[in-house]
Amino acid sequence: MSFDFSGDPFASGFWTPTRFEADLHDCEVEGEIPEGIDGTFYRAAIDRRYPPRHPLDIPYNADGAIDMFRIRGRRCDFRTRYVRTPRYVAERKARRALFGAYRNRSTNDLAADDLSMNTANTTPIVFGGNLLALKESSPPMRMDPHTLETFEEYDFGGRMTAESFTAHPKIDPQTGEMLAFSYEARGDLSDDLAIHFFKPDGTLERTVWVKAPVVSMMHDWAITEEHVVLPTTGMVTSRERLEAGQNHWAYDPSVPAYVGIMPRDGEAKDMRWFRGPPDRAMMVHTTNARTVGDKVILDAPCARGNFNPQFPNLDGGSFDFDARKNTIRRWTFDLVSSSDTWEEEILFEGVTPTSFTRMDDRFLTRDFRWSFNLLHDPGFAFENSRTRVPMQDNWNAWYRFDHHGGGIDRFSAGPTHELFEAQFVPRSASAPEGDGWLVGVANDYAELTSELVIADAHHLADGPVARVKLPFRLHMQVHGWWVPSDVLPFEFGRDYDYRGQDYGPAVRIP
């Protein structure tokens, strides 16, 4: 039976699914990759193998793929692989889509009734020697960080009983521990949260179970040296929605904002829930948090309303594009106050970045100065006459925000380029905060190709110092992850395609 993607409004033009895997040895480089960049940049992407089965399906329900840029000695190699989730394997065998609306099992084909719905399409992280491809509604998919071979859906050696796992675990740079959480942790619609504590070797050491004040999307969180910080959102669900065949989430503008704070060495009884107005209930991603005396301080982008038109408003109202805009906010929680509210300060007044905030992760949990984000900047003109993709509100800029002094620096990859979330790479392990480079993918809509761009984080206005140019377009990224080679050493014995390993003497073929 033939098929095409013409009925999918999210799969056309540049974003038509690529449906391919590739290895590209010794990529073309324009400019010069800095010598100090030595490691691997991973990115999780969404790329459908088959047209969606359900008319209400959305891009976040597409198959996950992992892209890998390995950089050493000023050269770069590229590889991309689909994550072999149970869902991917079943649909490949059936040669058609088996899964329906986003996170709604009742809309699946009967052939997929008992299968995991894991797409593994949100965040790649490396921890304990494994590459984990993450989707917050499912356990991690464990992969080989060198070859991108998929091993298994991973429960950490049987230690994790939660049915889900966040797409945003946090690795404490001081201790090497990983902290993570699960929401709807005992299955769809459950109000159970599980907070996980991992040893540096990847062993799940402890899980604390707590109840959430509302069943909502909880995409990201924050940790300090002493506390965990868990914000809820106004994205809610219900049995009625799922039984009606709708996707999992809808936005309820009446739901309060809750933020749970618990000591890292605490138990469920130590969780304290603060409550704020609904216009604070859309913190999708966090930048960083720290504990200062009896206060916890959190910096993060936050929108006033529904952040994504792919999720409908529960009241049936039209999407408010102004309310989706983020402002960078500083929330201060007084742990000894009897009040359940918190103080809010708007940083960088009038600037509306995306929620894709990044920082120098060596300063996670502590006071920090710099963050990096994506924006649409009308000051960087588009050259639509040269592009083959309409460009109007595209993310055409990386910004560096100074959380101490209030300054802003800007980067453009070019007048025909759109950018994705950047990762920060320190100049050295001991370099001052923010001294290093930003790496991330840009799409060139004139050439219909993608490239890895590298910028000096202290000199963003100078533009790219290097471009790793691919001869094809890449799929849509969600999040990325940078791993230096001292954390993940190159293991050439496991994959000889990567530069640094001699191929040996030439062999004459008779």
The CA angle 231-477-58, to the nearest 5 degrees, is: 75
Go through 289-309 and write b for each residue having 16 or more CB atoms within 10 A of its CB, e for each that does not.
bbbeeeebbbbbbbbbbbbbe
Q: Which amino acid is at 213?
A: P
Of 199, 153, 314, the closest CA to residue 248 belongs to 314
Q: DSSP label at 174?
A: T
Q: Which residues are annotated as a binding site?
A: 168, 219, 285, 479
Decide: 400 and 372 in contact? Cβ < 8 Å.
yes
Q: What is the DSSP string of 3-39?
A: --STT-TTSSGGGS-----EEESS-EEEE---TT--E
Q: Which residues are annotated as a binding site for Fe cation?
A: 168, 219, 285, 479
Q: What does each C-alpha distance from 445 to 111, 384, 419 come to in angstroms?
A: 40, 9, 11
Q: Which long-range contacts (C-beta less than 8 Å, at least 24 apart) are formed by 340-344? A: 340/273, 340/274, 340/275, 341/274, 341/275, 341/276, 342/259, 342/274, 342/276, 344/276, 344/280
